[in-house]
Amino acid sequence: MSFGVIILLQAGAGDLVKKKLSADFQANRIYVTPVTQSGDTLRFYTDTGGGVNMVWPSAAKDLGLDTTQRQMRGQTVTIASLPDFSSEAEIPLPPKSSSGLGEHLAVRPPHRLLKPGGAGFLGATWFTTRIWEFDYPGQTLALIPEMDWAGRSDKHTVYLGFQTDANGNKTTHFPRIPIEVDGDSIDVLFDTGATVLAKKNTAERLGRTDIRNIGTCFIIDSIFTRWQEAHPDWEVIENAERQSGMPMIKVPEIGIAGYEVGPVWFTKRSDKSFTGRMSQWMDEPVYGAVGGSAFQHFRMIIDYQEQMAEVHLKES
């Protein structure tokens, strides 16, 4: 799939121009696959809920990238620039002002979620300031150069919360979005990178025999337990995840942006991982994350500048 321009007609809202990126969807997780001018195809995992943009040391060496040292938060960090890409299969640089790295990537080895292979990782600061279309059913990722929200239907739009300073400038780049489960509204992280490291039998129960790192949603322990107690008929996979041993629960239906979809699998996480750790980077406390096991139903436009999301079911 090459980087190019397509036109999507939106009734009553004019023409929406999109720049499609070369991308690969695997088990509801998204990789971008740009091609260098010398013909090398790279593979970067993308994650709206993730941290520092990175290139693996092995990839930096193989590509002959120039590296330098930078001081960040009292630590010395090795950084590198992305190589020049072919105009037919390119990806944008991280925005200059989005992090202490600017347009550079940290040279670091991969986390276990990202092994094996690939060239690196693009997190929240790569997505910020831009407008994106995540089309999970169509398995495409696209940039939208500009978006006019005036006159668009608000039936399936939702406000995205970001942490900001007193002047309204973003201090972090993690979107908060509400979902509804069992009559309750729950604030969660918008997290395209949410992943369960599924055991073999777990992957099979999720309908996967080819891959075991699978897009999921997360929910904190206390809510997971409440769901279990209130709905003993909801399917649970005990000891579902490698290493952590965390269970998963199959929620028959969730609400998001005016739609109800399901079933959706949630993987349990400790309360402190979200109410403590993640919430410090959010504008309001979050109690989990919504990711690929829910997003697989949707085509979504995410506008980081206007802090808005427009959601479409795959049939529409």
Q: Which residue has the tokens 């010395």?
A: 76
Rounded CA-CA distance 237/251 in Å is 12
Whole-model pTM: value is: 0.92
Closest to 82 measured CA to CA, from 29, 144, 37? 37
Per-residue pLDDT tens over the stretch 49-105: 999 999 999 999 999 999 998 887 788 899 999 999 998 899 999 998 777 788 999
Whole-number pLDDT of residue 22? 95
The rounded Cα 310 to chain-centroid distance in angstroms is 16
Domains of the chain: 4-143 (2.40.70), 157-313 (2.40.70)
Q: Which residue has the tokens 């939208």?
A: 144
Per-residue pLDDT tens over the stretch 11-61: 333 467 899 999 999 999 999 999 999 999 999 999 999 999 999 999 999
Whole-number pLDDT of residue 6? 40
Amino acid at 172: T
Whole-number pLDDT of residue 192? 98
In order of 15, 117, 258, 283, 303, the CA distances from 148 in angstroms are: 10, 39, 21, 25, 10
